[in-house]
Amino acid sequence: MTTKLTVTRPGALTTIQDAGRPGHAHLGVPRSGALDAPSMNLANRLVGNPQGTPVLETTLTGCAVRPDTDITAVIGGAPCPVTVNGRPAPWGTPIHVPAGATLDAGPATAGIRSYVAIAGGIAADPVLGSRSTDLLSGLGPAPLAQGDLIPVGRATRTAPPALPVAPPWPAPPAELVLPARFGPRADWFTEAALRTFLTATYTVSVHSNRIGLRTEGPALERATEGELPSEGMVLGAVQVPPDGRPVVFLHDHPTTGGYPVIAVVAEEALAAAAQAVPGTPVRFAPC
């Protein structure tokens, strides 16, 4: 019998995410996938799942589900209170959830996105090889809604693997430092703007989402007027719209765009960007 989770509280935005669907940008399809991949992978490891197994990615307010059979789960990523049928349960380590009990990942106490990994993984139907929800193109499962039934795969282990030392969970950043390389359109900006980009302190905007991390701070002045023809965009591209404030493209970013890209942020730094709450200081540093 296939285990199913009933969604009893979907939260502000909870989606199914895995390692994403790279390799389809030529079709206009972004990579998508978990914004904080290290947290997803650690949660999966702790319940005995292979790396990249689909999980639930919550946003700020968490979510709650009720399984119809016993399951093992880990809630990691952004720290949050965890309960099973109203009783406190540990965050960041495997917990047993009996059939019919409600597993609740509460609001994040730091960071933004928590990850709910279930032994066996979320078994939604794949699209282009991935079960990830893509908010830009609409591919993959819809965000969770009240009463949804979510299938769970068969666990590959009878128990989570024994770990000699519990791995540390990365803490959400108090300050976000993003290593970046100039280009491909750095020449569209003045020398003063390039200096500002590397020396100014920005803050994370409340308008950030899975598509991009928006910033507030000094505007970057262009040296070239006019607009570019649309060109390809990559994960981590720092696009500068007409207001002059940098936007760092995350996993659901558009695959083309016409605003100039002043720099590209190293991919390994983007997991911290996914956990940076609005108001977090942001600095760009040369790679």
**104-158: per-residue pLDDT in tens?**
999 999 999 999 999 999 999 999 999 999 998 899 999 999 999 999 999 876 5
Please name the amino acid found at residue 113.
Answer: R
- Mean of the pLDDT values across residues 230-256? 96
In angstroms, the CA 213 to CA 126 distance is 27
Mean pLDDT of the chain: 94
- Mean of the pLDDT values across residues 206-219? 97
Is residue 170 pLDDT above 90, yes or no?
no
pTM to 2 decimals? 0.94
Q: pLDDT over 90 for what percent of the chain? A: 85
Mind listing the domains of the chain with CATH numbers? 3-152 (no CATH), 176-286 (2.40.100.10)
Who contacts 156 (Cβ-Cβ below 8 Å, separation ≥6)? 48, 49, 50, 120
In angstroms, the CA 218 to CA 161 distance is 49
Is residue 28 pLDDT above 90, yes or no?
no
In angstroms, the CA 138 to CA 38 distance is 24
Q: What is the pLDDT of residue 45?
A: 94
Please name the amino acid found at residue 3.
Answer: T
